Amino acid sequence: MGYRTVMNDVLVVGAGANQDIQPPATQDWMVTAIGSSVWVGVVPFQVPQVDVSLWDGALGPSEIMRSTDVRGWMRPLRLHINNGNYLRLNNPGGAGANISWSATLTRYFGAGVSNVISDLQTVGAAAVYDARPPAGYDWLLTDFGSDQWLGAAPAGVPNIDVGLWNGTIYSQILDPASGRMWEPELEIFASRTTYPRITNVDPAQAVICFTGVIYRYYGAGVSVVESLLQTAGAAGSIDFQPAAGEEWRITALAGTLWVGVPPLLFPDLTAHIFDGTNASMICSQTNWLMQGHTPEIFVDNTNYLRITNTNAAQQVVGMSAELTQRYAS
């Protein structure tokens, strides 16, 4: 006999009331859809009248999506929760609403340990929190939130910076002044050596959060995360090139210097597929082709990623990536 893997419900939630989505102590879930009988906003950008937050029963809630803003609603949800860190749905309307949600069981672990690494932290103004795996683990982070937001509705986003940090240099992936970069589903890989750093850029203390899962336990082996950072001089180029016999999948690009007008700020860089002689542009700071979508760039030792700093000042550039295959070259 099997067990249930589809988790869903429709509940009447009163005005201002909450509904928690909390797995049993032995299960991990991934929430993929949230709805309501009441929608708000201006067509075609209406969203369900629900505020979605991560909550641990004491700290938070820390908002990932709001009914006043389109952030997070226009792409697939991948919100990983367990019994300790789960979702709180709030009906901010003046009347009751039928609120629905859909989830899937991602792991039944019984007497074992949860695979979900979602977390909340209280962070002071200008302070940081590092989402750093313990030794022997790789993580995959799929979303971020805060109880402090920036920007006018419907373009508000969590007022945090999210980037990669290796203990020495940092490069940014998400900026609250660039709402467009907050639109896609996120896949940011974390290893023990290079991992996401979350900065509270709000003038007030904030409760920040992230959702994600243990991507791989390798123990005394080798990480499959290929997230890397390098400092590029003015007009300088950095090649992110797999070793012979390796293939990588790149899911995010990063830079410390951004250009444009909010909410259309982009990292001040260009990205090319490069074969050592010829370069072909796949992304630029004036035409960020992957805006609204998760980058998915496959490279190997022959055709790899070249990032060029298009700013007059030095900056740190980088990428989030995973090793997808290692074979005899």
CATH number at residue 68: 2.60.120
Q: Count CB neighbours of 244 within 10 A.
A: 11
Contact 144, 79 (CB under 8 A): no
Give the 3-state secondary structure of residue 29: strand
Residue 195 lies in a domain: no
pLDDT value of position 122 = 98
Residue 293 lies in a domain: yes
pLDDT value of position 262 = 86
- In sequence order, the 6+-apart residues with CB closer than 8 A to the CB of 42 are 154
Last residue of a domain, one of 93, 112, 131: 112
Domain boundaries, position 15: 1-112
* Residues forming a β-bridge with 253: 319
pLDDT value of position 264 = 85
Contact 188, 182 (CB under 8 A): no
CA atoms within 13 A on the CB side of 208: 26
* Residues forming a β-bridge with 316: 231
Residue 120 lies in a domain: no
Place of tokens 């799929």: 142
Query: For each successive 10 residues of the chain (329 residues), what is the average pLDDT?
Result: 86 98 97 98 92 97 97 94 98 98 96 97 98 98 97 93 98 93 93 98 98 96 97 98 97 95 90 97 84 85 98 98 89
- In sequence order, the 6+-apart residues with CB closer than 8 A to the CB of 27 are 82, 83, 105, 107, 108, 109
Residue 209 lies in a domain: no
- In sequence order, the 6+-apart residues with CB closer than 8 A to the CB of 112 are none
Last residue of a domain, one of 56, 87, 112: 112
Contact 245, 326 (CB under 8 A): yes
pLDDT value of position 48 = 98
Residue 28 lies in a domain: yes
Residue 47 lies in a domain: yes
**CA nearest neighbour of 52 among 7, 87, 17:** 87
This model's pTM is above 0.85: yes
Residue 31 lies in a domain: yes
How many whole angstroms separate alpha carbon 319 and alpha carbon 230? 9
Residue 161 lies in a domain: no
pLDDT value of position 328 = 73
Structure tokens at 179: 């709402």
Tally the domains of the chain. Answer: 2
Contact 263, 151 (CB under 8 A): yes
How many whole angstroms separate alpha carbon 257 and alpha carbon 231? 12
Last residue of a domain, one of 87, 112, 137: 112
- In sequence order, the 6+-apart residues with CB closer than 8 A to the CB of 276 are none
